[in-house]
Amino acid sequence: MGRLFGTDGVRGLANRDVTAELALSLSAAAARVLAETGEFAGHRPRAVVGRDPRASGEFLAAATVAGLASAGVDVYDAGVLPTPAIAFLTGSSGADLGVMLSASHNAMPDNGIKFFSRGGRKLPDATEDAIEAHLDQSWDRPTGASVGRVHSYADSGELYIQHLLSAVPCQLDGLHVVLDPAHGAAATIAPEAFRRAGAQVTLIGAEPDGLNINDGYGSTHLERLQEAVPAAGADLGLAFDGDADRCLAVDAGGAVINGDQIMAILAIDLHERGALAADTLVATVMSNEGMLRAMQREGITVLRTGVGDRYVLEEMVRGGYSLGGEQSGHVILLEHGTTGDGVLTGLMLAARVAATGRSLGDLAGCMTLLPQVLVNVPGVDKHAVDSHPVVQAAVAAAQAELADTGRVLLRKSGTEPLVRVMVEAATAEHAQEVADGLALIVARECALQQQGAIV
């Protein structure tokens, strides 16, 4: 059996993989692990629990609350809120633990469980492993007055909105914004925050019914937003995913502005205001080379990490950096939050438009995206790729051919016998040609049946 926790908590098909029993057991185990490490020493422990609007979140949240209270933790139920709101409330309230029930951008049948430690940070791998190890262990349950109590966190949404507005450097007066919250957790929060910031708001994908989250709307389905922004005559559009920890944008003409472009715009903004710590942006190896070149021209250093917002955050914390994120739209503004925050990212992006008087499309022109092609090569021994002489020679030859007009990256999948071949080049045709050629070599040289490998 593999590790229960993935790169972003526990996730799977609700009521099959992620059950009420699992939610209850995981929450109780988390409380016991934190108690054993001394996190609860000297006080009665408290936890904040939230969820996205999925139907399954109702019973999973109930089970989570029950598990925590059974372990002696007082629970503050925040209801439906974005993941970054739960991280923020965990930190701002001084709670010992935060729990979010969400499967992020996944389709409605899935759900997941994310834990935050004191301060609103994701749990380290070692703590997650300890929680998993405690699942089947017997324990001394509290009784009487020692059991946890359950409270409604009535003003949680208002506190989060006030936090968002406190971070925005200017009003959005005169700006018309189309918002697409993917029928998800930000369906109420996002329009309220933008309206209070002064923007005129048009909404699509903002009628969650428990079953329609991420269904044809949001950051993974931008087509409707691309149509809605020009049709409304709006200045820009912003799309979030189901739990609103990521944001992608659309300019007035309907062109997509991806996470790399958003990070570039925000990096330049912070740089000009003297608020970009160490004049450094933290991104992943998947970020487009065009962004790096643009940042270099602006005097901004880019540090690259492995794929995953937790690795971006780790590097930001290590170096004291203020801005980082991923091409997918996870953007972390560390001064204001400990995780990707789609609504905050959207507000900061809109504020840059308002403050400069320039269109979003014009601001995005600070960088030129190199055509990027990604080819998945299944059924291969992914562990052999890094040291296979023929593959490495082919990669070196491809990089030499591209020279400074592009780059090659081979990345092993974390969960499958799969290698991802990513190529950037001056033209999409050239990138595709190089990627296809490398994919054929990887498939031929590292085929599982040929190598007899076990993955």
Specify the amino acid at residue 324.
Answer: G
pLDDT of 196 strictly over 50: yes
Structure tokens at 347: 């507000």
Report the C-alpha gap between 205 and 221 in whole angstroms.
Answer: 11
Residue 129: CB atoms within 10 A of its CB come to 15
Name residues whose C-beta falls within 8 Å of residue 328's C-beta, 6 or more positions apart in sequence.
219, 246, 248, 259
| Residue 2 is assigned to a structural domain of this protein | no
Question: Is residue 320 domain-shared with residue 406, that is, in the same domain?
Answer: no
Residues 403 and 322 in one domain: no
Torsion of CA 174, 230, 219, 418, to 10 degrees: -140
Q: Is 222 left (phi over 0), alpha (psi -120 to 50) or beta?
A: alpha
Report the CATH number at residue 414. 3.30.310.50
User: Of 91, 121, 154, at which residue does a domain stop?
Assistant: 154
Question: Confidence class of residue 415 from pLDDT cuts 50, 70 and 90?
Answer: low
Whether residues 164 and 135 share a domain: the answer is no
- With cut-offs at 50, 70 and 90, classify the pLDDT of residue 448: confident
User: Does 245 appear as a known binding residue?
Assistant: yes
pLDDT one-digit tens code per residue, 23-72: 999 999 999 999 988 888 889 999 999 999 999 999 999 999 999 999 99
Judge whether 241 is annotated as a binding position. yes
Same domain for 180 and 271: yes
Residue entry with tokens 């991806």: 258
Contact 433, 375 (CB under 8 A): no
Say if 405 falls within a structural domain: yes
In whole angstroms, what is the distance from residue 215 CA to residue 204 CA?
12
Task: Just list the catalytic residues.
Answer: 104
Q: Is the dihedral of CA 429, 433, 436, 438 positive or negative?
A: negative
The boundaries of the domain holding residue 414 are 372-451
Of 196, 185, 293, nearest in space to 247 by CA: 185
User: For residue 110, which of 23, 28, 26, 19 has the smallest C-alpha distance?
Assistant: 19
Q: What is the mean pLDDT of residues 398-404?
A: 90
Whole-number pLDDT of residue 414: 64
Based on the domain organization, do 395 and 302 belong to the same domain? no
The CATH number assigned to the domain holding 337 equals 3.40.120.10
Q: Give the integer Cα–Cα distance in Å for 204 and 182.
A: 8
Give the end of a domain, one of 154, 178, 208. 154
Shared-domain flag, residues 78 and 212: no
**pLDDT at residue 455, rounded to an integer:** 38
90 and 15 both lie in a single domain: yes
Domain edge (last residue) among 113, 132, 154:
154
* 169 and 187, same domain (yes or no): yes
Strand partners, 150: 75
